[in-house]
A and B are shown apart, each in its own frame.
Chain A
Amino acid sequence: DGGITQSPKYLFRKEGQNVTLSCEQNLNHDAMYWYRQDPGQGLRLIYYSQIVNDFQKGDIAEGYSVSREKKESFPLTVTSAQKNPTAFYLCASSTAATDTQYFGPGTRLTVL
């Protein structure tokens, strides 16, 4: 099955710890995106990447980091510098041919 997978579905961490969220796609899409979803605020862009080894900051990149070493993978690290990390994180991918983003199932991160 083609698609986007995110793991884990639920993640709990203690305050002050870095945590990495996984996003993998087998759609052969060039571009990948990370969004954060908070109640009543829609989705906000954290980082995006259109080619391997290159990525750009989105609207709320502070306290986050990413890497894009492989086309299929775009992991997101939530660092201890992120002031309010508890949220639902969604990964998406797209290609120039369709210019449409498709989303993974999301990871709900709770920082205790």
Chain B
Amino acid sequence: AQSVSQHNHHVILSEAASLELGCNYSYGGTVNLFWYVQYPGQHLQLLLKYFSGDPLVKGIKGFEAEFIKSKFSFNLRKPSVQWSDTAEYFCAVNAPYNQGGKLIFGQGTELSVKP
């Protein structure tokens, strides 16, 4: 069965600390990979995505993620977090659009950054 697993449910960091959120997926075909972020009281927003090519992708607000095909992983990183990064982060995979394009989400990781 298709699934996405996020390693941490709640992460607490101090400002300027480095961040890495783990994501592993199980899917039997070609996948697109996404990280979404949900700031308190705001829309779910796209942080970054990987479809093909360079496995290191850069997103908004200094975030990046690395696709490691052999490990079925797509971990999210940021070298130095800020208080404004406090949010819930979701990893997701989808089948290509011509196969329905359905997104499968991980459980989410709540990030709290202490000022």
- B34 contacts A45, CB within 8 Å? no
> Can you give 20 A-B contacts (C-beta < 8 A)?
A33-B102, A40-B108, A41-B107, A42-B90, A42-B106, A42-B107, A43-B105, A45-B104, A48-B102, A50-B100, A56-B100, A58-B102, A94-B101, A96-B97, A100-B34, A101-B94, A101-B101, A101-B103, A103-B36, A106-B44
Closest to B96 in A: A99
CB distance from B42 to the nearest CB of A (A): 8
Give the interface of A toward B (CB within 8 A): 31, 33, 35, 40-45, 48, 50, 56, 58, 90, 92, 94-96, 99-106
- B51 contacts A99, CB within 8 Å? yes
- A31 contacts B97, CB within 8 Å? yes
CB distance from B4 to the nearest CB of A (A): 8
Closest to B2 in A: A59
- B43 contacts A106, CB within 8 Å? yes
> What are the nearest 3 A-B pairs in CB distance?
A42-B105, A103-B44, A43-B105
- A105 contacts B103, CB within 8 Å? no
Closest to B45 in A: A103
> Which residues in B have their C-beta under 8 angstroms from that of A104?
43
Interface 1/0s, chain B 56-84, versus A by CB < 8 A?
Answer: 00000000000000000000000000000
